[in-house]
Structure formats: structure tokens, C-alpha cells
């Protein structure tokens, strides 16, 4: 385990997040501007990142293996959904915030932190496993996740018709197409997809900048929740999936993916759907800081 890799990724995220805080405090980004940035990040950059993950796959793999990893990913997120729906009720979170807590329990920061961690621990070949695990992540995040964040009591197809969901479905198809895509297209998708990290961190930082520091650090429920996201989720995933998964590498990748801090997309979706963006931003921020200690702990205990 390369602890310096974890610290480096955390510091990169915190520097960009701090930039967002400064931008909000100095008036460069106001709440309305932050909502606009959130739409840009979600509908353009996130969509491009999803498509880029599919068209840039360079690894030869059988169709059966792909479906096996996708099936394992669906099973993993089914486990996390159960945990995510139970935890807010057990911790007696406010009814209005339960959807956000559930989302933050289910979905981790897989793309930015998960991919490098998997590559550093298991080698570059294992990153493709993590990429495939992102397919059920995206499909679920922009269906069930939208419902959890928006708080709508009834299923609404209109909420689910988003560019990110369309890109997630397209990514599944693109993986199986034996097509060499034009370099300008793949480069453009790559560049636009790369924007998601700085944009998301600035958006979260701007949301934090609108709050009092004592509110960010003294919310006791956030400290209660972070161990759930960072320790309980990977332990449950490892404990359940090891009963069915016999591929050790796949099981280890799933465990590391489940140990990532809360997904930054939660804060952007909270802004977009008028949910408690302040809570989402606090959890993303604090879970990212604490993950520097919890990721090595989880790897040492379970792998």
C-alpha cells in the first residue's frame, strides 16, 4: 500500500476544494453560478467521462468475463443499497436528509481515487475491473440515486432522462463494439471528462464557502456517518461477496472500490435537485480527509 499515493490524491482534491471556498468567499462564484457549474459538470463533463471510460478501453477480455464483472458489480451495489437504506434509519437521521445519507453510503469516489488506488495496489490490468464496476455505479446513481437525492416519493421518468444515464447505457454497448474510434473524438471526450474533478471540487468548495466553519466541522452526525462510508461499507461488501466471488483479484478490487470516500457527485446532484447541498458537501469533504487513514486500514485488515 502506497500511503503517499493516498495522501497525494487527498491533497490534490483539498487544494482544488479550497480554491472553491476562496471563490465563494470572494464572490467569484455565487450560489446561482454554482448551480450553473453543477449543471456543466453533471451534463457535460460527467457524460464525457462515462463515454471516455468505454471508448478508451485497451484491454482484451472475453464477453463472458465482462458480463461476470458487470454481474458482480450489480451484486456489490445491491449489498450497498441495503446498507444505504438501513443506516439512515438506524442512526435516526432527519427524514429530509435520509436520501442523501443513503446516496453517500452507496456511492463512493470511484473514478478519481478508486482507479489510481486499484492501479497502485494491483497493477494497471486491474483498473479495467474498476472501470467495469463503474457501469452499474452510473446506471444506479442516475436512477435510484436521483430518486434518493430529489426526495420524490413517486417514480418519475422525467427525472431519470438525463445525459449521464444515456451515457451510462451507451457505455455498456460501446464496450462490446470492435470499433477503433477517431483520435479527435477520444481526445475530446478525455479532456472534457478530465474537467469533472476540478469542477466538482470547486463546486463543493463553493458550497462549503457559503457555510460557517463551525457548522462544517461540528456536525456530529457527519462524524458518525463517515465510518459507515469508509469502514462499514467495504467490510460488508467483502464479507458478503467473498461467499460468491472466487476471483481473488475481483473481490479485492471491489473491496477497495467500496472503501473510497463519498462521491462528489452527491453534492452536485443536491444542488441540481434542491436537496441539502451543505450536508452532502460536508460529508464529501470530511470523508476525503479521513480516507487517508481508513483506506490503508481496510486494505491491511481485509486484503
Q: What pLDDT digit, counting tens, does each position of 239-275 carry?
A: 999 999 989 999 999 999 999 988 888 888 888 888 8
| In-domain check, residue 89 | yes
Distance CA 286, CA 215 (A): 12
| In-domain check, residue 234 | yes
pLDDT at 58 over 60: no
Distance CA 299, CA 303 (A): 5
277-303 b/e with 16+ CB inside 10 Å = b?
bbbbbbbbbbbbebbbebbeebbeebb
| In-domain check, residue 303 | no
| In-domain check, residue 82 | yes
Residue 161 maps to which CATH number?
Answer: 1.20.1530.20
Q: For the residues of 185-220, what is the DSSP string, one character each?
A: HHHHHHHHHHTHHHHHHHHHHHHHHTS-HHHHH--H
- Note whether 278 and 97 are within 8 A (CB): no
Q: What pLDDT digit, counting tens, does each position of 13-54 carry?
A: 788 888 998 998 898 988 888 888 888 887 888 788 878 877
Least confident of 9-23, 170-184, 197-211: 170-184
Per DSSP, 46 falls in state I
What range defines the domain where residue 13 resides? 3-298
57-84 b/e with 16+ CB inside 10 Å = b?
beeeeeeeebebbbebbebbbebbbebb
Domain count, the chain: 1
Residue 229's pLDDT band (cuts 50, 70, 90):
very high
- Distances in Å between the Cα of 187 and the Cα atoms of 84, 182, 243 are 36, 9, 41
| In-domain check, residue 170 | yes
| In-domain check, residue 275 | yes
Amino acid at each position: 500500500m502506497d500511503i503517499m499515493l493516498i495522501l497525494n490524491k487527498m491533497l490534490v482534491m483539498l487544494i482544488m476544494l479550497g480554491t472553491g471556498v476562496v471563490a465563494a468567499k470572494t464572490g467569484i462564484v455565487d450560489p446561482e453560478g454554482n448551480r450553473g457549474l453543477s449543471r456543466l459538470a453533471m451534463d457535460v463533463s460527467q457524460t464525457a467521462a462515462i463515454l471516455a471510460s468505454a471508448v478508451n478501453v485497451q484491454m482484451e477480455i472475453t464477453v463472458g468475463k465482462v458480463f461476470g464483472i458487470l454481474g458482480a458489480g450489480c451484486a456489490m451495489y445491491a449489498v450497498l443499497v441495503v446498507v444505504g437504506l438501513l443506516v439512515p434509519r438506524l442512526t435516526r437521521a432527519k427524514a429530509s436528509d435520509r436520501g442523501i445519507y443513503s446516496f453517500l453510503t452507496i456511492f463512493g469516489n470511484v473514478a478519481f481515487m478508486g482507479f489510481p488506488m486499484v492501479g497502485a495496489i494491483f497493477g494497471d490490468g486491474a483498473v479495467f475491473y474498476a472501470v467495469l464496476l463503474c457501469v452499474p455505479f452510473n446506471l444506479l446513481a442516475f436512477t435510484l440515486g436521483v430518486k434518493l437525492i430529489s426526495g420524490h416519493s413517486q417514480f418519475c421518468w422525467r427525472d431519470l432522462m438525463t445525459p449521464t444515464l444515456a451515457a451510462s447505457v451507451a457505455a455498456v454497448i460501446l464496450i462490446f463494439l470492435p470499433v477503433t474510434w477517431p483520435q479527435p473524438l477520444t481526445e475530446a471526450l478525455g479532456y472534457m471528462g478530465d474537467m469533472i474533478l476540478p469542477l466538482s471540487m470547486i463546486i463543493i468548495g463553493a458550497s462549503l464557502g457559503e457555510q460557517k466553519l463551525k457548522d462544517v466541522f461540528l456536525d456530529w452526525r457527519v462524524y458518525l456517518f463517515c465510518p459507515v462510508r469508509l469502514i462499514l461499507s467495504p467490510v460488508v461488501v467483502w464479507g458478503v461477496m467473498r461467499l460468491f466471488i472466487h476471483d481473488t483479484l475481483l473481490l479485492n478490487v471491489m473491496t477497495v472500490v467500496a472503501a473510497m470516500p463519498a462521491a462528489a457527485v452527491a453534492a452536485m446532484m443536491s444542488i441540481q435537485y434542491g436537496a441539502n447541498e451543505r450536508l452532502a458537501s460536508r460529508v464529501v469533504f470530511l470523508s476525503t480527509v479521513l480516507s487517508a487513514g481508513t483506506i490503508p486500514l481496510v486494505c491491511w485488515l481485509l486484503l
